[in-house]
Amino acid sequence: MAQMTMIQAITHALDLELARDERVLVFGEDVGNNGGVFRATEGLQKKYGADRVFDTPLAESGIIGLANGLAIQGFRPVPEIQFFGFVFEAFDQIAGQLARTRYRSGGRYTAPVTIRSPFGGGVHTPEMHADSLEGLFVQTPGIKVVIPSNPYEAKGLLLAAIRDPDPVIFLEHMKLYRSFRQEVPEDDYTIPLGVANVVREGKDATVIAYGAMVSVAQKAAEQWSKEKGFEAEVIDLRTISPIDIDTIVKSIQKTNRAIVVQEAQRSAGAAAEIVAQINEQAIYHLEAPVLRATPPDTVYPFGMIEDEWLPTPQYVVDTLNKVMTL
Amino acid sequence: MSLNLEAKPVPFLQILDIEGNVVDAQQMPQLSDNELRDLMRKMVFTRVWDQRAVKLARQGRLGFYAPVAGQEASMIGSEAATKKEDFLLPGYRDIPQLVWHGLPLHQAFLYSRGHQSGGKIPDDVNVLMPQIIIGAQIVEAAGVGLAFKLKGEKRVAVTYTGDGGTSQGDFYEGMNFAGAFNAPVVFVVQNNQFAISVPVHLQTAAQTLAQKAIAAGIHGVQVDGMDVLAVYAATKEAAERARNGEGPTLIEAVTFRYGPHTMSGDDPTRYRTKDLESEWEKKDPLVRFRRFLEGKGLWSEKDEETVIDEAKTAIQEALAKADAEPKMTITGLIDSMFESLPADLKRQRDEFSAEEGQ
């Protein structure tokens, strides 16, 4: 066991997988010699060589196109998009190509590609760095979307993502990269994709969150318990496509109330899909409508007003109070 | 100081003129009599197939179809210069190259009809199904080429696009990536003068499309795309260079499509003059190569009739086989999304399989 930050856990997972499977290739802008702009690939090129871990020209569509071509010839590419706000450059190669390879070839070709990319607010990045764009890929058939909330899970989920026979987008929240350390086992373990995790037991309301919003939800739950004596059950979704609706329904059967907390603006992200699935599968267990605690439907804000824009524990508590009185 | 701005920035290759005379004996590819006859056989077969496919599309017996008449030399000349282990990444018009590389004809028809089996390429055939997103195949080809290089395999990725496709970002990115990685890729641009209704001079002010190779630092050559020997020779050399680790090449084949852009309602009389069409009809790749072969005593009217009959029979058989393919199902589509179905998709499968059962 070792104390690791999330970025160290990610490097550690890449290291393990590069050693275990020689088909794994890591590439992107500045991931080679430089070790990545966040040091996520630090030391890997030196250890595995420039044939396994390498830099690419500065072109996102080219990077994912490269991954597509390598994948249909038997490699397991782990490309990086430097910031997920740059994903629009590669949108066709992800949604138009990668996600459809197995389907359009009737299974003749597959795309075991894991796209790693940082995103997320609260660290005052310039424009187009922090945007939560995961919802675009919740709406893209053929691709899974994973967002870890801590170092332990980042390692297990990344290993599962790379080993998945189909494409996965693995989104790493920048604020979580070095905000805390956690015990992370050195050995090989995976956390199954598509399975949520109940991180706090409660009986009065269910809070569904992912990414950096998991700790916001946990803080809100503690505050709510102190202030009102209510106990919120907090679910870390971990995989936001496909959504683990069974875990959510099970929780709602107990709590009869729910809210969804996400960092993406209201009509983006995964919240609307979660609410729709709850509506289909748990409506008779609900005492109140499912509310969303999200930022407003604006463009991601300039740094000066970021902290006011992003959901805070207080905002989550307010939303919980609302759902209790509806 | 005077700059010679008029000179062509890339070489131009033509071996046969429109009369079928050899104008550049030095560049003549080394092909046996049988190989020469085979090129003609494939071109005639493809012309018959195209004529039949146009009719079948009008009758509703085929779906999406992009005519190829006029482009036989650029399509067949380039494919014939590849090896079976080379990997083709075609655009939507490049069905003949796939078939001559090994894709069964009935699967080409199934693709046209919109049946999933059309894209289920046999295991021993090294092609990807046709790409609809213009330019996507170009960046993917760089990845396929890099895979061959990393595995130490002496194989080449060959990809195709049209003149309009050279304006896409992916076209430049793909060439530039292949150049930066020194990957074994041959990029073939079939410049048939029009991207639907837009003439090539509205795509770019560049004098040739082949010179776009200069931006990526790779080899570029323009060839007479109505001359099967020139296309063959250029592709052969590019593929060999790639195989030997000398990097990618861009080949521009200057050609013409006699038919409409696709059978989906395009009317070329809106944007092309009769004069232009008849000018290009004089350059017909079949006419000039037939004259060349007849001059060498390698082709006769009887040979031509034999191929036409062979093509008609093969098309009939392929249609029958396509007709016999089982209908697609929604559950079949769902099953093809992932190796193992996520829970939500399983639920949807149950829902739709119940409907299918009714």
Residue in A closest to B183 by C-alpha: A66
Q: Which of residues 164-223 of A touch B (CB under 8 A)?
A: 165-166, 194
Q: Is B120 on the interface with A (CB under 8 A)?
A: yes
Strands B198-199, B194-195: pairing is: antiparallel
Please indicate whether residue B257 is annotated as part of the active site: yes
Q: Do residues B325 and B110 lie in contact, with contact meaning Cβ atoms separated by under 8 Å? A: yes
Query: Considering CB atoms only, which of A70, A165, A244 is closest to B146?
Result: A70
Please list every residue in chain B whose beta carbon sits closer than 8 Å to the beta carbon of residue A61. Answer: 139, 169-170, 173
Q: Give the integer Cα–Cα distance in Å for A67 and A113.
A: 7
B337 to A141: CB separation less than 8 angstroms, yes or no: yes
Q: Give the integer Cα–Cα distance in Å for B294 and B92.
A: 33
Question: Mutate which of B124, B139, B187, B344 to disrupt the A interface (most A C-beta within 10 Å)?
Answer: B139
**How close A192 comes to chain B (CA, Å)?**
11
Which residues are within 8 A (CB) of B345 and not within 5 positions of it... i.e. 6 or more apart? A242, B334, B337, B338
What would the two tokens of residue B22 be? 């050899």
Q: Is A281 on the interface with B (CB under 8 A)?
A: no
Q: Which residues of A are catalytic?
A: 129
Write down the pLDDT at residue B9.
84
Q: Give the integer Cα–Cα distance in Å for A109 and B258.
A: 34
Question: Mutate which of A51, A66, A108 to disrupt the B interface (most B C-beta within 10 Å)?
Answer: A66
What tens digit of pLDDT does each residue of A218-234 get? 999 999 999 999 999 99
Question: ipTM of the predicted structure?
Answer: 0.96
pLDDT tens series, chain A, 326 aa: 799 999 999 999 999 999 999 999 999 999 999 999 999 999 999 999 999 999 999 999 999 999 999 999 999 999 999 999 999 999 999 999 999 999 999 999 999 999 999 999 999 999 999 999 999 999 999 999 999 999 999 999 999 999 999 999 999 999 999 999 999 999 999 999 999 999 999 999 999 999 999 999 999 999 999 999 999 999 999 999 999 999 999 999 999 999 999 999 999 999 999 999 999 999 999 999 999 999 999 999 999 999 999 999 999 999 999 999 98
Which residues are within 8 A (CB) of A273 and not within 5 positions of it... i.e. 6 or more apart? A138, A243
What is the Cα A86 distance to its own chain's centre?
Answer: 16
Residue in A closest to B141 by C-alpha: A69
Q: Give the integer Cα–Cα distance in Å for B200 and B211.
A: 14
A102 to B116: CB separation less than 8 angstroms, yes or no: no
Question: Mutate which of B187, B218, B338 to disrupt the A interface (most A C-beta within 10 Å)?
Answer: B338
What would the two tokens of residue A80 be? 């990086």
Place of tokens 């005593």: B297
Q: Is B214 on the interface with A (CB under 8 A)?
A: no
Query: Considering CB atoms only, which of B123, B139, B337 is closest to A61?
Result: B139
Identify whether B90 is preceded by a cis peptide bond (ω within 30 of 0).
Answer: no
B180 to A57: CB separation less than 8 angstroms, yes or no: yes
Please state the pTM of the whole predicted model: 0.97
What tens digit of pLDDT does each residue of A11-54 get? 999 999 999 999 999 999 999 999 999 999 999 999 999 999 99
CA angle A165, A171, A174 (to 5 degrees): 155
B344 to A67: CB separation less than 8 angstroms, yes or no: no
Q: Is B329 on the interface with A (CB under 8 A)?
A: no
Q: Do residues B286 and B10 lie in contact, with contact meaning Cβ atoms separated by under 8 Å? A: no
**How close A234 comes to chain B (CA, Å)?**
22
Q: Do residues B67 and B267 lie in contact, with contact meaning Cβ atoms separated by under 8 Å? A: no
